[in-house]
Amino acid sequence: MAYGVNVNERRCAGRRLRIAVGIATAGRPAILLETIDYLAGLPNRPERIIVCVPDVDDAAGLGDRRDVELIVGSRGLTCQRNRILRAAVPDTDILIFLDDDFIPAANFISRMETVFARQPDVTIATGEVLADGIRGGGLTMSDALEIIETAGERAELVTDVYNAYGCNMVLRLSAVIEHGLTFDEQLPLYGWLEDVDFSRSIARCGRCVRVAGARGVHLGVKSGRQPGRRLGYSQVANPAHLVRKGTMSRARAIAQIGRNILANARGVLRDRSGDRRERLRGNMLALADLFMGRASPSRILEFTISSNHAMSSPSIAAKRR
C-alpha cells in the first residue's frame, strides 16, 4: 500500500505525538456508541477518533458527531483496519486500535504516548488487560469502570512480547509507512490471528512490547460474534496461512491449533455446547482441507449461516486466546 508520505517529514522531536484511536466494528452500534462517549469524555482524549463500519447502520448515533471520523468500508476486520490506516496518514504519529468493547483507563493514552516518545525503537505495543469478559459471561461498562478504579495505578513497565493483543494495539505509523505494512486481507471477516500476523511483520522494524501500567478492560460483549463453524475453520486454516507467510513458526502454529481443537472437544463433552460442536466441525473440515492441500482462510466465506446466528463483528479479537 502506498501512503504517499515522506517519513523524513514526520519527525516529531520537540513536540507531542499526534495520536488517533481507530475502531473497526460491525453489528454492535449500542456498545460502539457507549465506548465512543467514554473516549470522547476522557481528560486526555485522542486528537482523532476514526471509526470504520461496513454499513452506516452499524454506527447508529454517530453520523452527525463532529468528534468522530466515520468511514464506510468493506466488511472484515483487516479490510476495515486498513481503511483506518489510510485515513490516519499523514496527520497521526501513533495509532491506537481498540475493539469496540475495550475500555481504556483514563491514563492509557498518556502512558502509551510516554513509552513511544521515550523509546523510539518500539514499533507496536499492547496494554495490560485487567479483565477479559470473553473468558466468561461478559462485562458491562459499569463493571469495567469499577475494575479500573479498584486496580489503581502503577508505573509503566515495558517488556518484549511475541505479539500485541488485537483488542488494544498501538502502532508507530512511521514504521508502517516506511515499510508499506498492511493488515492481511486474505484473513476475512473477523481476521483470526490478524494481531499475530501484523505484530510479527512490524516487529521486523523494531520492538513489540507490552506496557504494564497502560491498563484497560475488555468487556467481551457476546452479541455479533461469529458462528462456530467459521471460527473453527479459521482456528486451523489461519495459523497454516501464517506459517506459509513466515509470520508464525510451524511449532507455534501446531501448538495453537492443538489447543483450539482440545478446547472445543472439551467444550462439547462438558457443556454440550452447540457452538463448541460447530467449532469442532470447522476444525475437522480445515484439517481435511489441509490434508488435501486446499485449506484457505477465505473458505469460510462459502459457509452458509443459519438464521439464528448473528452476523460477524470484527471485534472478535479476544476469541483468539
- List, as one string, the DSSP characters of 19-58: EEEEEE--S-HHHHHHHHHHHHTSTT--SEEEEEESSGGG
C-alpha cell at 298: 477465505
User: Average pLDDT over the chain, rounded to whole?
Assistant: 89
The residue-averaged pLDDT of 9-22 equals: 73
What confidence tens digit (pLDDT) does each residue in 62-77 have? 988 999 999 999 999 9
pLDDT of res. 154: 84
pLDDT at 8 over 50: no
H-helix or E-strand containing 209?
strand 207-218
What confidence tens digit (pLDDT) does each residue in 234-276 have? 999 999 999 999 999 999 999 999 999 999 999 888 876 678 8
C-alpha cell at 221: 460483549
Strands (E), 38-178: 48-53, 69-72, 94-98, 102-104, 122-132, 157-160, 168-172
pLDDT at 230 over 70: yes
Cα angle vertex 147, ends 141, 151, to 5°? 150
Strands (E), 35-121: 48-53, 69-72, 94-98, 102-104
pLDDT of res. 92: 96
pLDDT at 34 over 90: yes
Euclidean distance between CA atoms 289 and 190, whole angstroms: 20
Cis peptide before 90 (omega within 30 of 0): yes
For the chain, the helix, strand and coil percentages under 3-state DSSP, each to the nearest 5: 45, 15, 40
CATH number of 7-218: 3.90.550.10
Helix (H, G, I), strand (E, B) or coil at 291: helix
What confidence tens digit (pLDDT) does each residue in 86-113 have? 999 988 999 999 999 999 999 999 999 9
pLDDT at 121 over 90: yes
The residue-averaged pLDDT of 173-186 equals: 96
Q: What is the share, in percent, of the chain residues with pLDDT greater than 90?
A: 77
pLDDT band at 221; cut points 50, 70, 90: confident
Q: For residue 158, give the nearest of 196, 201, 197, 120 by alpha carbon.
A: 120
Euclidean distance between CA atoms 55 and 260, whole angstroms: 32
pLDDT of res. 315: 44
Buried-state track 171-206, b at ≥16 Cβ within 10 A, e below 16: bbbbbbbbeebbbbbebbbbbbbbbbbbbbbbbebb
Model confidence, pTM: 0.89
pLDDT at 10 over 50: no
**What are residue 306's phi and psi, to 5 degrees?**
-70, 160
Note the residue count of the chain: 321
Q: Which residues of the chain form CATH 3.90.550.10?
A: 7-218
Cα angle vertex 80, ends 26, 318, to 5°? 60
